[in-house]
């Protein structure tokens, strides 16, 4: 069983968010942080570039991730709206059933209040 983890690439807080998704295997005990935040309304989502295309990301999450990036190193963070394929009901069902595991195995849970 596996999960996607967002690799937040180095940057300054006022840079455009740069990230890539990596697939981690639960058997390898991935080391990552998780983020908890308020999704907000669907109108509060923004198109964000990722891997040559654009994905919709809650503005509040985007703001939080921009504040949490390090200037000189990557950071592995699990964020539900990016790490779960929001267009796949099957994947959402599987990953939602793993939420407890995802949050309890994170080295730290970050909270972004906005």
**100-108 average pLDDT score:** 95
* Higher pLDDT among residues 51 and 62, named by residue: 62
In the chain, how many domains are there? Answer: 1
Instruction: Using the predicted structure, report yes or no on whether residue 43 has a pLDDT greater than 90.
Output: no
Instruction: Using the predicted structure, report yes or no on whether residue 42 has a pLDDT greater than 80.
Output: no
- Domain coverage including residue 45: 2-112
- pTM of model > 0.75: yes
Q: How far apart are CA 4 and CA 85, in angstroms?
A: 9
* 72-98 per-position pLDDT tens digit: 999 999 999 999 988 889 988 988 889
Q: How far apart are CA 113 and CA 60, in angstroms?
A: 8
Q: How far apart are CA 80 and CA 104, in angstroms?
A: 14
Residue 81 exposed, middle or buried by CB count within 10 Å (0-12, 13-18, 19+): middle
């Amino acid at each position: 069983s596996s999960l996607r983890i967002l690799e937040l690439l180095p940057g300054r807080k006022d840079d455009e968010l740069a990230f890539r998704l990596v697939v981690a295997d639960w058997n390898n005990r991935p080391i990552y942080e998780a983020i908890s935040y308020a999704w907000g309304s669907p109108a509060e989502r923004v198109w964000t570039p990722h891997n040559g295309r654009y994905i919709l990301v809650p503005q509040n999450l985007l703001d939080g991730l921009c504040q949490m990036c390090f200037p000189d190193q990557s950071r592995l963070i699990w964020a539900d709206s990016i790490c779960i394929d929001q267009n796949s009901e099957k994947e959402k069902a599987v990953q939602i059933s793993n939420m407890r595991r995802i949050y309890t195995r994170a080295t730290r849970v970050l909270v972004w209040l906005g």
